[in-house]
Structure 1
Amino acid sequence: RSDVVVLCFSLANPNSLRHVKTMWYPEIKHFCPRTPIVLVGCQLDLRYADLEAVNRARRPLAKPIKPTDILPPERGHEVAKELGVPYYETSVVAQFGIKDVFDNAIRAALISRRHLQFWKSHLKKMQRPLLQAPFLPPKPPPPVIQVPDPPTSRSWGPAALFCTPLCADVVFQLQGGQRVFAHRVYLATSCSKFYDLFTLEGPRGGSKEPAARTKSLDGEQGVLAEGVHTPLRTSQSDDTLRPAAGDNVMHSDNGSRDLSAWGRGFLSMCWELVADPVAGREKRMVVVCMDWRVQAEPFRAVLEYLYTGRLDQTRGDLMQVATIAELLEVFDLRMMVANVLNKESFMNQEITKAFHVRRANRIKECLGKGVFADVVFRVDDGAVPAHKPLLIAGCDWMMAMFRGAFRESYAAEVSLPGTNCACLRAVLDFLYTGVFTPTPDLDAMELLILTNRLCLPRLQALTEQYAVDELLRAFMQRVEIDEQVIIYLEMTQFHNARQLAAWCLHYICTNYNSVCRRFPREMKRRCPVLSENQAHFERHRWPPVWYLKEEDLYLRSKKEREREEQLQRKQHTRSKWCFWRPS
């Protein structure tokens, strides 16, 4: 004889619940008419689990679980009420409800024995099966912002820019008529000697142009460089570079400068109209005539090192490269060649690392002061000088604008409406150094709009992470962020910031009741009932709707049971003494 029957069904299989009424309950009542029954719904964790992941983990031939197969709690309560049995839900995965089932099954078995003579007095205080509190599913974790790795190779990186000198602004005239085109900003930020060369005084002792000037930097005013008061770092020490004072520089009548006494390897320098090697359009460039000792191929190797920081160790003319590096005072390259010849190439890694760190610091100073800038961006609240070579090497959008037949490819001033100086400087800082450095005056939403416009996915992800960190910091300081999150959700979905949009959706889902209570109009205006966002909220809100209904049912049932027990206690009062008065 059975003392109790635990009748189980799966909450992810409607047929199993149907069989409880049509098959198992009639059979139990036929063979065990006086045995108490406890109805148990199993696999409660599937109600809030990721069904796609669950189906992938199941056997290949197993029937996939559909969202429509998941039974809500009210279905189990309806069947339990129809059969007149207590109902519980369990989950082995969540470790919920298992003890409740066995404890209350024991209670049901003991209460069923009250009709026996021996148990009438011993089971008076035995409670009937208790109600089960609803299971609150765990709060889903917020989505993690995934920042993509920087591209290992770019079609228009520094190496490609040296091979195809787009927007070149300096040409080296070698003996024999050969010409080598390059970019001043790459050479000056990589080598102190070239920085001194390009910051010499203007013709006939003219004053240097201020760094903040926003006119064309093609040399139309007859100057070589701007912002000569900018401190940069030397390649040998951490001292700031002092602009060259122009000593030992002779000026000829035609405006060229005699550099033979200024440095080895250089003969003269002047501004000339030179045809651009890529666009074919004439523009003013710095023309530097080199000494006969500077050969073409080794000189190209030196310049390529200044662009990329790498040395081709398989070259057969390493000694000539070292000679020219010594001549032009590129001491890092000379040391690297010496290490290769001495079979100590492993020491070059530290030299290369220091080279890139030093150049990144110099480039940031160039950005801050506008040194060697060749284009000015006009934005809503001002002007920002920039450098076309660095923009082309870091952004495909900029490369397409400056390389193509657009007006901006040869204009000294480019209009960029819809953004501000702080956002554009943050973008330029990232393109120049590869590092995102937020500033106090930076608006994350404005920067996201600009990164989407310029097609910069890595910077966009970094900005999304910055926006999330700012929201969480405000939340920890007990600042209300609900309205800001709603605004972010609308803007991020419009401007393709999908990761931040997913984070905003998660925040609203996990705080759905409070957000709707504080901003009902905003939620209805931005999230109409038939919209995709509203459907997402209904599926992923926490606590879920079924839990709120179950909690309400539990509280109402608990009050009804307490009321019944109170009435029962009044009906079966204890015997009292005649002089006892209830207070």
Structure 2
Amino acid sequence: MPKMDNEQPHQELVKCVLVGDTAVGKTRLICARACNKHVSLSQLLSTHVPTVWAIDQYRIYKDVLERSWEVVDGVNVSLRLWDTFGDHDKDRRFAYGRSDVVLLCFSIASPISLRNCKMMWYPEIRRFCPDVPVILVGCKNDLRYMYRDENYLSYFGEKGTFVRAALKSDLVMPDEARAVAKELGVAYYETSVFTYFGVNEVFENAIRSALIARRQQRFWMTNLKKVQKPLLQAPFRPPKPPPPEVTVMVGNYRQDIYNMFLSQAYTDLVLVGAGGTKFAVHRFMLAAASSIFQRLLSTELTDMGGRSSSESSMVSSTFGEATIADFNDDTEALIRYESRTQRMWEHLKRRSSYQALPLMESKRSNDLYRELHHPVLQSIRLVHVENHRGVNGLQTIVTLSKLISPQALHQCLRFIYTGTIDKDCDNIEEIREAADLLELPQLTQLLSRPQTVMENSSDEPNPHICLRIKESMERHCIGDGCFSDVTFELDDGLMKAHRAVLVGRCDVMRAMLLGDFREAHSNVIVFPGVTIYTFHKLLCYLYTDQIPPISAVKCLNLLELANRLCLPRLLNLVECRVIEDLTLISQNETNETVDHCLKLLEPVKLHNAHQLAEWCMSYLCVNYNLICKFSLKGLKALHQDNQEYLREHRWPPVWYLKDYDYYQRCLNELNKELKLKTSRRESPSDDEGCLCFTGGKSKRSADVSGTTDNSNADNQIFNSAGNSLNHIDLEADMDLNL
């Protein structure tokens, strides 16, 4: 069994020493390469404890030794990493001994560590290792974009953290580090153990540097002939920042609608059940949920039997659109009306059969009454009542048969308003029969599957059932204006609504319609500055708690209205819809989304749509280059603070564009050199004649000069300031849209 720590045949052993200030990331870099260790952000930001990675781990741990083996340009190499303390007064003479390459490390977030590389560390290296190749390594290059990351900054708000967050003024840019490397005559690479950028690359090129230096001393070794010069490192492009998340605040839609049922505000229909139990409800709610009530309440009384034309016109106006303010009255008004009857009439009413009650009450001259030949609906009656404001109106009373118990009727009404039933109810079969009789298909479908009954009896209703109910409300209440009692005069037309929903779902509407304002007594309310398109979206939200898709071009009026009416959830929903529309437009690969964002950025802030403004700002930062190419006029129209923010947070950042431009120019120069060498090899020799006499002195001189050139090229791999891969002066600044 071969020894684990011995050099194997046909294998090159490379000793790589890492030096630099303390806390620059030397040990982390060694662990990332030798142990393949990945670290989290919390580990990186923990309080620094000076440590040194022990070199004897290659002898103790087999996996560490196996990871040291690597094939570079066809050469088997065993890379041995040596860690050192960062204290300036330590004696590192033993670590430098017999080293093949030295990595001079500094932190991207510490300009002082870079200055010490020039003033202290490089002279020390040259004192102990005058001929050893040196590579300048910038560690923690992820901090160039993470210094303003919210997740990164969150770690510094905790108590007990002794690490200071990196600031923009602390960062060392690539051109600054490259200038120091040029002054020292060494190559420059960057790494990050967090993103693992450049970890393997820097050590591979360190091996190449060591092997090239070894090839100069052992020119007879054929296995080192194919070793390349250190390769050019592509610049690190920061990851594209994700768009900000848009949250929608939780609404109280179901509770608001249920409170509308409990408060009995603006009710215009009374259901009289078995035992004289009365439920004050709203006609538009029952018509939207139940087909039988939709047919009943939409049919004129003249179609149910004989009636004079005057009575027919009166009933038609009653069941059509409301023309009197506060047409929908409370149950209390009906109770006050009935309390004025004589005691003998109350005694007879309690003793009489429930089926005969409507006939006896219909004898009043001001009432409109009809019997209904239906197993559930017995009669319908219209009565004149007076509300708390002293305004006379009409109330509809529908008497039900004894087939539906008051408990089952209450659960059916609860389902109509909220989409749920009481979780404590135990008469499921009775409720299902009542749902069949009242033609409530959603409730019937729910109760036909017992396993879903308890799920829907909880506080959260079934989403599919709620969707069906909301679609029905939108179709009947918003689209048709069924049984509306108020009309809004808008800029481009009229729209009808129901006071009960407006009061129950919007506090501003509640104050306007219930307070001592003119709108509380008006049949038509003037609403200036609002269009039908905008008001329709508002009604969709009030009735269904959702809004249909919205175009980014038409969103400002709705945002302004939502902000004026103090509806933050509607504001969030509009933001989501607009972002969906902008995201869809951005897939066309045009600058249309950029133009929309430039136009929306500042106006939406005025209406407190901060999430939409943040999304627009993020999109503009990511597409800053498109702005400079196609929408420069719109950019200059923004406020100066917004322009400065976009320049500061643009992606890719300016330092990357400069570094990428430098990288491209390096590649172009390398390609030119490669083409020049290829053309020289393919050109014919100037000495023509007998082959026996060619290649003499001229050939020997060419070989000598070639050897000298190669030797000089190898010596200048890290020292050349003109042809090095990492040292091409930035003489011409390109147009980077800065």
TM bucket normalised to smaller: 0.7 to 0.9
In structure 1, distance between residues paired with 2:253 and 2:261: 18
Counterpart amino acid of residue 619 in structure 2:
Y
Q: 2:370 touches 2:381 (CA, 8 Å); kept in 1?
A: yes
Q: Which residue of 2 aligns with 1:208?
A: 316
In structure 1, distance between residues paired with 2:489 and 2:326: 18
**Match status 1:537 vs 2:628:** no
**Match status 1:182 vs 2:281:** yes
- Tell which deviates more after alignment, 356-365 or 413-422: 356-365
In structure 2, distance between residues paired with 1:179 and 1:364: 28
**Match status 1:63 vs 2:163:** yes
Deviation at 1:576, TM superposition (A): 3.9
Q: TM-score, normalised by structure 1?
A: 0.76
Counterpart amino acid of residue 136 in structure 1:
R
- Tell which deviates more after alignment, 377-386 or 468-477: 468-477
Q: Which residue of 2 aligns with 1:275?
A: 387
**Structure with the greater alpha carbon radius of gyration:** 2
Q: Which residue of 1 aligns with 2:540?
A: 429
Q: 2:517 aligns with which of 398, 402, 406?
A: 406
Question: Deviations for 1:317-345, whole angstroms, at most 9, x for unmatched residues?
Answer: x79x969x969954669x99xx89xx979
Q: Which residue of 1 aligns with 2:497?
A: 386
Q: 1:494 aligns with which of 606, 610, 613?
A: 606
In structure 2, distance between residues paired with 1:310 and 1:570: 84
Deviation at 1:396, TM superposition (A): 3.4
Q: Which residue of 2 aligns with 1:145?
A: 246
In structure 1, distance between residues paired with 2:467 and 2:683: 89
Question: Deviations for 1:38-73, whole angstroms, at most 9, x for unmatched residues?
Answer: 100012122112544235458954413222332211
**Match status 1:10 vs 2:107:** yes
Q: How many residues get paired?
A: 538
Counterpart amino acid of residue 66 in structure 1:
A
Relative distance call for 1:211 and 1:143 in structure 2 (3 A) is: farther
In structure 2, distance between residues paired with 1:562 and 1:440: 51
Q: Which residue of 1 aligns with 2:11?
A: none
Task: Name the SS of the counterpart of 1:93 in structure 2.
Answer: coil
Q: 2:551 touches 2:578 (CA, 8 Å); kept in 1?
A: no
Task: Name the SS of the counterpart of 1:41 in structure 2.
Answer: strand
Q: 1:219 touches 1:271 (CA, 8 Å); kept in 2?
A: no
In structure 2, distance between residues paired with 1:555 and 1:291: 85
Q: 1:422 touches 1:441 (CA, 8 Å); kept in 2?
A: no
How is 1:567-578 mapped onto 2 (pairs within 5 angstroms)? 576-578=685-687
Relative distance call for 1:567 and 1:375 in structure 2 (3 A) is: same
Relative distance call for 1:313 and 1:94 in structure 2 (3 A) is: closer
Counterpart amino acid of residue 159 in structure 1:
Y
Counterpart amino acid of residue 36 in structure 1:
P
Q: Which residue of 2 aligns with 1:41?
A: 138
Q: Which residue of 1 aligns with 2:267?
A: 168
Relative distance call for 1:89 and 1:442 in structure 2 (3 A) is: closer
Deviation at 1:557, TM superposition (A): 5.1
Q: Which residue of 2 aligns with 1:238?
A: none
Relative distance call for 1:300 and 1:284 in structure 2 (3 A) is: farther
Counterpart amino acid of residue 190 in structure 2:
E
Q: 2:625 aligns with which of 513, 530, 533?
A: 513
Counterpart amino acid of residue 662 in structure 2:
L
C-alpha RMSD of matched pairs (Å): 4.8
Q: Which residue of 2 aligns with 1:234?
A: none
Deviation at 1:424, TM superposition (A): 1.6
In structure 2, distance between residues paired with 1:3 and 1:52: 42
Deviation at 1:425, TM superposition (A): 1.5
Task: Name the SS of the counterpart of 2:142 in structure 1.
Answer: helix
Q: 1:190 touches 1:355 (CA, 8 Å); kept in 2?
A: no
How is 1:287-306 mapped onto 2 (pairs within 5 angstroms)? 287-288=396-397, 304=414, 306=416
Deviation at 1:204, TM superposition (A): 1.9
Percentage of pairs with the same residue: 34
Task: Name the SS of the counterpart of 1:443 in structure 2.
Answer: helix
Q: 1:80 touches 1:87 (CA, 8 Å); kept in 2?
A: yes
Task: Name the SS of the counterpart of 1:6 in structure 2.
Answer: strand
How is 1:405-484 mapped onto 2 (pairs within 5 angstroms)? 405-438=516-549, 443-481=554-592, 482-484=594-596
Q: 2:289 touches 2:440 (CA, 8 Å); kept in 1?
A: no
Q: 1:158 touches 1:307 (CA, 8 Å); kept in 2?
A: yes
Q: 1:214 touches 1:376 (CA, 8 Å); kept in 2?
A: no
Ranges in structure 2 where 5+ consecutive residues have no aligned partner = 1-97, 302-309, 329-358, 690-738
Q: Which residue of 2 aligns with 1:365?
A: 475
In structure 2, distance between residues paired with 1:382 and 1:576: 92
Deviation at 1:26, TM superposition (A): 1.9
Deviation at 1:74, TM superposition (A): 2.2
In structure 2, distance between residues paired with 1:81 and 1:313: 77
Task: Name the SS of the counterpart of 1:63 in structure 2.
Answer: coil
Question: Deviations for 1:273-303, whole angstroms, at most 9, x for unmatched residues?
Answer: 4123xxx453413153858989999976765
In structure 2, distance between residues paired with 1:299 and 1:122: 94
Q: Which residue of 2 aligns with 1:224?
A: none
Deviation at 1:107, TM superposition (A): 4.0
Counterpart amino acid of residue 205 in structure 1:
S
How is 1:243-254 mapped onto 2 (pairs within 5 angstroms)? 254=365
Q: Which residue of 2 aligns with 1:88?
A: 189
Question: Deviations for 1:457-502, whole angstroms, at most 9, x for unmatched residues?
Answer: 3433333333233223333234431212211222222222222222
- Tell which deviates more after alignment, 64-73 or 24-33: 64-73
Q: Which residue of 2 aligns with 1:225?
A: none
Counterpart amino acid of residue 364 in structure 1:
E
Question: Deviations for 1:125-176, whole angstroms, at most 9, x for unmatched residues?
Answer: 976544433222222222343334444764xx23322332223334578999
Task: Name the SS of the counterpart of 1:48 in structure 2.
Answer: helix
In structure 1, distance between residues paired with 2:225 and 2:468: 87
- Tell which deviates more after alignment, 554-563 or 76-85: 554-563
In structure 2, distance between residues paired with 1:345 and 1:120: 81
Deviation at 1:92, TM superposition (A): 3.2
Task: Name the SS of the counterpart of 2:637 in structure 1.
Answer: helix
Question: Deviations for 1:190-218, whole angstroms, at most 9, x for unmatched residues?
Answer: 44454445334265222835999795576
Ranges in structure 1 where 5+ consecutive residues have no aligned partner = 221-247
Relative distance call for 1:150 and 1:479 in structure 2 (3 A) is: same
Task: Name the SS of the counterpart of 2:504 in structure 1.
Answer: helix
In structure 2, distance between residues paired with 1:358 and 1:131: 63
Deviation at 1:526, TM superposition (A): 1.0
Q: TM-score, normalised by structure 2?
A: 0.61
Relative distance call for 1:153 and 1:26 in structure 2 (3 A) is: farther
Q: 1:382 touches 1:421 (CA, 8 Å); kept in 2?
A: yes
Task: Name the SS of the counterpart of 1:208 in structure 2.
Answer: helix
Q: Which residue of 1 aligns with 2:77?
A: none
Q: 2:423 touches 2:454 (CA, 8 Å); kept in 1?
A: no
Q: 2:486 touches 2:525 (CA, 8 Å); kept in 1?
A: yes
**Match status 1:523 vs 2:639:** no
**Match status 1:159 vs 2:258:** yes
Q: 2:209 touches 2:230 (CA, 8 Å); kept in 1?
A: yes
